[in-house]
Structure 1
Amino acid sequence: MRLSEPDLDRRSPPTSNTKPGQTALPDGDGEQPALRLSRDAILDAAISFIDQCGLEKLTMRRLGAACGVEAMALYRYVHSRGDLLTGIVDHVVDRLYTDQLAARRQEDGWQDYLLRLAHGVRQVALDHPQLFPLLATAAPEAPWVRPPLRSLRWMESFLDTLISYGFDNPSAVAAYRSYTTFLVGHLLLEVSTHGAELSPEEALLDTDRTEVDLSNYPHLQQLQPMLSEDRSAAEFEESLEAILDRLELLTARR
């Protein structure tokens, strides 16, 4: 029997992959009510799109539809796809910086600072598993800046914090390198279990950051030569030895 349109409407509603609390985003054919456009609003919409649809499906046309506007309207605020992706990374990193800076207390000690920061970065990875590989692979502001603490502000804050707790310059630089290596390695593996693509094509972003102004970052000005040294081989061996030492402790407990 052929059902009438009212009968069809009374049947069970269509299923949706949208999670509770999320806004359904179009796959490129539908439109949403127009968003009041600003760069931050567009970046937030792009992050939501990636969370729900995946990085590989993000296009300017689909993002425009998600914002309820034509794609061309976005170009006033994001000049290219590369600028959009760079802006997304900076937006997430800046938000993490603001949250962690507000929570930093001198009396907590450097261990508490590093523990809280690690959990903050991990929460970003778990909240945005489809986005985190981009955060880990996008071109940094300078070649000696490491993800995921990938901004000059983050580096300056990190080094300033450790030095204020008594680290000398070489120890602070070594801590930054070891800490960021741990975070990236562990969290990339963790988000891969959530289905994230670990080698997104968007890893090379359309951005020119060859000229770096360090006038507002005194620690970076002083430590840039040390930060620029290639110690990859030594760091690999040191990390490997540390793992072997931990495994030896496990066998000693038996």
Structure 2
Amino acid sequence: MARAADPDEPAGSAPRTADPDSPEARGGAAFVVTSGPPGTGRAALDRRRILGAAIEFIDSHGLSALTMRRLGAVLGVEAMALYRYVPGREQLLDGVVESVVDELYGDPDVHMEAAHGWQDYLQRLAHGVRRIALAHPELFPLVATRPPAAPWVRPPLRSLRWVESFLTALTGSGFSDESAVAAYRAYSSFLLGHLLLEVSQKGVAINAADTGEATPAVDPDLGEYPTVVRLQELLSVDESAAEFEEALENLLGRLEHVRREGRDPRDPDSFT
């Protein structure tokens, strides 16, 4: 069946395909524990349900709107009832981050072991993290900035289990201990930089000073910029998925050089 024309696409352009990591392309958002029907009472309340409701609330209303009182209202209980399961908002946010990162375990396309090689392992893991960012853009800055369980654990992986999986996959694939640790740092920095930029482009607040509110549209005077005018249509195309894939491929190519040479990717001569 022919695809219906998209009125937002320029005439004669190639059909726009869905971002393969987006919730729409995967039939819905990444798995979260739902809060259940409202008004089910305290009998059904537990930590798992509270965290699921908090994730749903942040996805819908943003992190800054979350309070214990509002979360209690969503669950049909007084705010004080929540403190039996989460001592306060800070512990609630810790649990929310842990629950969101744990979505990687339920992603069938992400593997804990490098059964098909280290590059396949890192490709799958990177796209799994990106799927989390796209499913929970309001939450991803929290994943990126929340203090980890140990100071040497870097977001967005955050989980000791995933760090163990990562380092085991690389050292088992020919990386030295030093190269594996350096690769872990480079890989996590790539994910953070790219995905924080991507969610910020959706108007999401990245830090406390950033309200995340959309700025009023202003038509700039482009009279002195004829090339920008000529290429404006191309500049407006969202290429986030393709840019992520290209940057990831480049990173993996650099890490292959590190693996072969046993060199530190922080050394500028490692990629010459």
Same fold (TM over 0.5): yes
Q: Which residue of 2 aligns with 1:115?
A: 123
Q: Give the TM-score taking structure 2 as reference length.
A: 0.61
Change in CA separation of 1:49 and 1:34 when aligned onto 2, cut-off 3 Å: same
How far apart are the structure 2 equivalents of 1:42 and 1:53?
16
Q: Which residue of 2 aligns with 1:41?
A: 49
Structure 1 residues 148-190: Cα deviation after superposition (integer angstroms, max 9, x where no partner): 0112111111101111122110111011000000000000000
- 1:170 matches 2:173: no
- 1:84 matches 2:113: no
Compute the displacement of 1:68 (Å).
1.0
Q: Give the TM-score taking structure 1 as reference length.
A: 0.65
- 1:154 matches 2:178: no
Structure 1 residues 77-108: Cα deviation after superposition (integer angstroms, max 9, x where no partner): 11111000011111112232453797345431
- 1:136 matches 2:165: no
Contact (CA 8 Å) 1:61, 1:71: kept in 2 or not? yes
After superposition, the CA RMSD in angstroms is 2.6
Contact (CA 8 Å) 1:133, 1:200: kept in 2 or not? no
How far apart are the structure 1 equivalents of 2:268 and 2:52?
40
3-state SS of paired residue (1:107): coil
Q: Which runs of 5+ in 2 are unaligned?
A: 1-27, 30-36, 210-264
Structure 1 residues 1-40: Cα deviation after superposition (integer angstroms, max 9, x where no partner): xxxxxxxxxxxxxxxxxxxx89xxxxxxxx9323621111
Q: Which residue of 1 aligns with 2:15?
A: none
Q: Which runs of 5+ in 1 are unaligned?
A: 1-20, 23-30, 202-233, 246-254
Q: Which residue of 1 aligns with 2:197?
A: 189
Q: Which residue of 1 aligns with 2:38?
A: 32
Contact (CA 8 Å) 2:112, 2:165: kept in 1 or not? no
How far apart are the structure 1 equivalents of 2:83 and 2:103?
23
**Structure of higher RCO (CA pairs closer than 8 Å, 6+ residues apart):** 1
Q: How many equivalent pairs are there? A: 181
The code of the aligned residue for 1:73 comes to A
Q: Which of 79, 82, 94 is matched with 2:102 structurally?
A: 94
How far apart are the structure 1 equivalents of 2:62 and 2:114?
39
The code of the aligned residue for 2:46 comes to S
Change in CA separation of 1:112 and 1:169 when aligned onto 2, cut-off 3 Å: same
How far apart are the structure 1 equivalents of 2:105 and 2:187?
16
Contact (CA 8 Å) 2:110, 2:128: kept in 1 or not? no
Structure 1 residues 44-99: Cα deviation after superposition (integer angstroms, max 9, x where no partner): 11000000000000000000011111111111111111000011111112232453
How far apart are the structure 1 equivalents of 2:84 and 2:182?
42
Contact (CA 8 Å) 2:109, 2:128: kept in 1 or not? no
Change in CA separation of 1:161 and 1:140 when aligned onto 2, cut-off 3 Å: same
Change in CA separation of 1:82 and 1:105 when aligned onto 2, cut-off 3 Å: closer
How far apart are the structure 2 equivalents of 1:101 and 1:154?
15
Q: Which residue of 2 aligns with 1:209?
A: none
Greater helix share, structure number: 1
3-state SS of paired residue (1:75): helix
Q: Which runs of 4+ in 1 moved over 3 A?
A: 97-107
